[in-house]
Structure 1
Amino acid sequence: MNGCGGARQAASPPASAAREATAREVSAASIQLVESAPLETTLDRPDVPNAADTWVAMIDGAKRTLDFAEFYASEAEGKDLASSRLTAVIDATLRATKRGVKVRFLADASFLSKYPQVLARFEREGIAVRTIDYGKLAGGILHAKYFVVDGEESFVGSQNFDWRALTHIQEMGVRVRSKEIAGALLDVLDTDWELAGGSPRETRVRQHALADGVIAEHGERLTLVASPKGWLPSETEWDLPKLVALLDGAKQSIDVQVLTYKAKSRSGEAFTTLDDALRRAASRGVHVRLLVSEWSIKPGSDGRKALDDLAHVKNVDVRAIVIPPFSGGEIPFARVAHAKYMIVDGAHGWVGTSNWEGDYFDRTRNVGIIADGGALPTSLERFFEGNWTSGYVSPLKAPDDASAPRPASTDSARR
């Protein structure tokens, strides 16, 4: 699935003066939280739009182009198909092609053999589809989940293009109306699109200005960040140092929710960059709250060891969120909290696609949005507080404690 339809040629970098990012008023820019909530839970927030509805509305509004970069694409089968909310998204995408919208879909090669059906259908319907082997390129995967509409608005979030992500997993994303953010995302996507098409490993597409300092309508200063280091249209977009800067600037509080948290990379090499930053914050009196999924607390795992060690630090509170099973039967790789976001001092927010492990920043393609000031961090804080105080969250317990959150088998493909 490496058809050449929809290819865009890599451009030479414009002059550095044109690349300098400065804060600027963009009256049309806005950012909005978008959630997914597991069925049969009380986690659905009435004031936060649902991803399935938002995706369909965005896709139906496309007039010229739709550009997707997704880890994989997976539709329900059998008895689950009737209730799948991804079906409407797929149908909207196919409607877009029929009205002349140019659609591209980029996915990671690692899941193609497991989930070939949606991509094959897209190709049959005239959508340009490519897969990229990020393992060969950088040692990781295309883990990002985002799409861009008409080069003007974007969706970035933890939701995979997967029916389970819309109905059986807690997720968090953002809908961003900004040509600057959309353009910077397209540079990332176009870089990967060209690499997937066989362009030299050195290919980097830089056709737009950096999205750093976009002022949204409610006062948020928006910045696009991405990974991995060494594979970015501009290396100044690398997310890890920007996250560390937010943590090091914290004065009162840090609230983080991620699927998994480790102080090691998958190779076994130490990765303490974020862990050290949290400890520095706690040592200066900042109250740190870390919320992880049950996938991160398997007894004896590297993740559990890192969490247990961090939980013993003064001013740090670590808890796990457990989503109960679905009454309709087991759903593999679902019924979990998969969101990835952070709030610092109630005034700075990050929503992204990276779990907090070294590979996600050094080897794997991810993207995120940082919002400084404005309404978005406040909304994100309310969302975190609702999780933290819910009946689904418990402090870490000793592995042999019967009241500990139940461990679950982890998806080895790194969702």
Structure 2
Amino acid sequence: MFRSDAAAGGRGEEAARVQQESADGTLQNHRLKSSAVCLHDAKMNMIYSVLFTFHLLLQYSRCVIALASVATVLLAAMALYNLMTPRASSSHPPPSSSLPLPQAESCTDPCKIVLVESIPEGLEFNSSTTHPSIFQAWLNLMSEARSSIDIASFYWTLTNADTGTHEPTAEQGETILRTLAERSGKLSVRIAVNTPQGSQPQDDLRLLNDSGADIRTVNMRKLTSGVLHTKFWVVDKKHIYIGSANMDWRSLTQVKELGAVVYNCSCLAADLGKIFEAYWYLGDSQSIPSPWPTSFNTPYNKDTPLHLPLNNTPSNVYLSSSPPSFCAAGRTPDLQSILSVMDDAQSFIYIAVMNYLPTMEFSHPKRYWADIDTQLRRVSYEKRVKVRLLISCWASTQPVMFPFLKSLASVYDTKSKLDIQVRLFVVPSSPKQKEIPFARVNHNKYMVTDKIAYIGTSNWSGDYFVSTAGSALVVNQTASQSVEPTVQSQLQAVFERDWNSDYSTPLTHCVLSHFCTHLV
């Protein structure tokens, strides 16, 4: 098309040259003619000039029209290409909003992070590694609260009456419930909880509701076929707790738990608050929005973490969430967070979780799900990273878990420098303690590497990342700039304390038959 325009322009120039030569010859002859003839020829020459000018304008307008047509066609083609061409894939689902995400920024709050634990009654360690109790952390958060307490939870059984027991150790849970009820009459208390199933106790929630708390149940069975399994607090939009402990008296005195409290950190609390608001929204909705409203978006994720000082140490932090359908634009899904932490490890990966199954644990028909298992084998082989898994063995452990653990533990060879090891953690029970239902177990859900600390709320099987609501705190602190021990080093010390304790045992048949007699 541009060549045709150029040819047309060339023909115009040639016509102009011929016209000009003709005009020059005519003027030369006119000098020999009369003045009348000269006048006539002058008029004719003017007509020729007008015609020549019109000819040039006609050629120019054709060129302009052609160029405009070309530009219009090109713009239309580009728009059609953008509509019909799929975007490049990424390691996690694309943002659920077409609006641009805000850029990650730094936080100047004097944030303080504290690891907290529940150590079951009678469990003693020959170690100096200790941390404040989750019970005390929850009391502190309620004491600090001035305007609001938001709690995302699986279920509520904080009293002996809830569990049909008469345990003195339930007193801590009853104290938490009583204190929270008192606070509910003085400030805003909101609770997002999984819709109770069957005969699940609801007395705690009724008490809190009667005391002034606002409660919404999230019907996860209808939304995703899963449950709301997450466990976190947001207080005054500046303090948070996240970890493995349920709102259950046993989680304070009869079950081993681990979590983290972050104080005076409004930027991080605001981001966790967005996850809570998503649950709150779903508690009043019959479906999951797609895309999520932009108010749920976050700039903080595994690629652009929040930069903030934790215990006066420069830190990169973000919060992940599951299932993916609950992740608004910018939020890293929990599974992608776990795989990313493993991929970043250079030296070691330590994992402490209650359940580890490369399956969809609750699906029918049965489904194999090897995302995490494959990643562990890959980093062990490709990077020669040392991998340690500390898995729980208790009355509710599924026997099918052990063949998979043995398979993973077989990736060990000193000559090849393959080093995956698995041990079981068994919480001992007295005859009386055995009578407590669903207790005496290591319920931790964390991972630590030489670079990153991951503190979550999910067990490690496929359902927890595909259909179940969970969340995690991911922290990377710069050791060289740290005055105090990093979160990574503190969590590593907890793992090594448990790994080397008398409650940790190798994954062998004879040991299983001794400690887990109900399984073999």
- State the distance in 2 between where 1:71 and 1:287 align: 34
Instruction: Say whether residues 1:338 and 2:443 are aligned partners.
Output: yes
Amino acid at match of 1:95: E
Q: Which has the larger radius of gyration?
A: 2
1:318-357 alignment to 2 at 5 Å?
318-326=422-430, 328-329=432-433, 330-345=435-450, 347-357=451-461
Q: Of 1, 10, 16, which residue of structure 1 is paired with 2:100? A: 16
User: Is contact 1:143-1:364 (8 Å) kept?
Assistant: yes
CA offset at residue 48 of structure 1?
0.7
Amino acid at match of 2:385: V
Q: Of 189, 192, 199, which residue of structure 1 is paired with 2:279? A: 192
Amino acid at match of 2:387: V
Amino acid at match of 1:230: S
Counterpart position of 2:257: 171
- State the distance in 1 between where 2:512 and 2:279 align: 47
Amino acid at match of 1:54: A
Identity of aligned residues (%): 27
- State the distance in 2 between where 1:55 and 1:239 align: 25
1:140-289 alignment to 2 at 5 Å?
140-177=226-263, 178-198=265-285, 200-202=287-289, 204=292, 206-207=295-296, 209-211=298-300, 212-215=305-308, 216=310, 217-234=312-329, 236-266=331-361, 267=363, 268-283=366-381, 284-289=383-388
CA offset at residue 254 of structure 1?
0.7
Counterpart position of 2:123: 41
Task: Mark the CA change 1:13 to 1:261 in structure 2 (over 3 Å): closer, same or farther.
Answer: same
- State the distance in 2 between where 1:402 and 1:152 align: 45
User: Is contact 2:223-2:286 (8 Å) kept?
Assistant: no
Counterpart position of 1:65: 148
Secondary structure of 1:350's counterpart equals strand
TM-score (norm 1): 0.88
More helix by share: 2
- State the distance in 1 between where 2:422 and 2:470 align: 25
Task: Write out per-residue CA displacement over residues 101-134 of structure 1, whole angstroms, 9 at most, x where no aligned residue.
Answer: 1001111114473111101111111111111111
Counterpart position of 1:3: none
- State the distance in 2 between where 1:111 and 1:210 align: 36
CA RMSD of aligned residues (A): 2.4
CA offset at residue 249 of structure 1?
2.1
CA offset at residue 95 of structure 1?
2.3
User: Is contact 1:171-1:338 (8 Å) kept?
Assistant: yes
Secondary structure of 2:325's counterpart equals coil
- State the distance in 2 between where 1:95 and 1:304 align: 46
| Structure 2 gaps, min length 5 | 1-95, 413-418, 479-485
Counterpart position of 2:472: 368
CA offset at residue 326 of structure 1?
3.8
Task: Mark the CA change 1:27 to 1:128 in structure 2 (over 3 Å): closer, same or farther.
Answer: closer
Counterpart position of 2:14: none
Q: Of 95, 108, 112, which residue of structure 1 is paired with 2:194? A: 108
> More deviation in 158-167 or 174-183?
174-183
CA offset at residue 361 of structure 1?
0.7
CA offset at residue 67 of structure 1?
0.4
Task: Mark the CA change 1:33 to 1:388 in structure 2 (over 3 Å): closer, same or farther.
Answer: same
By relative contact order (CA 8 Å, sep 6+), the higher-ranking structure is 1
Secondary structure of 1:16's counterpart equals coil
CA offset at residue 296 of structure 1?
9.4
User: Is contact 2:296-2:328 (8 Å) kept?
Assistant: no
User: Is contact 1:228-1:238 (8 Å) kept?
Assistant: yes
CA offset at residue 250 of structure 1?
1.7
- State the distance in 1 between where 2:489 and 2:129 align: 16
- State the distance in 2 between where 1:407 and 1:155 align: 36
- State the distance in 2 between where 1:282 and 1:385 align: 19
User: Is contact 1:260-1:296 (8 Å) kept?
Assistant: no
Amino acid at match of 2:104: A
| Structure 1 gaps, min length 5 | 1-11, 410-415
Counterpart position of 2:494: 383
- State the distance in 2 between where 1:326 and 1:388 align: 22
Counterpart position of 1:406: 516
Q: Of 173, 177, 181, which residue of structure 2 is paired with 1:94? A: 181
Q: How many residues align?
A: 392
TM-score (norm 2): 0.71
- State the distance in 1 between where 2:512 and 2:270 align: 51
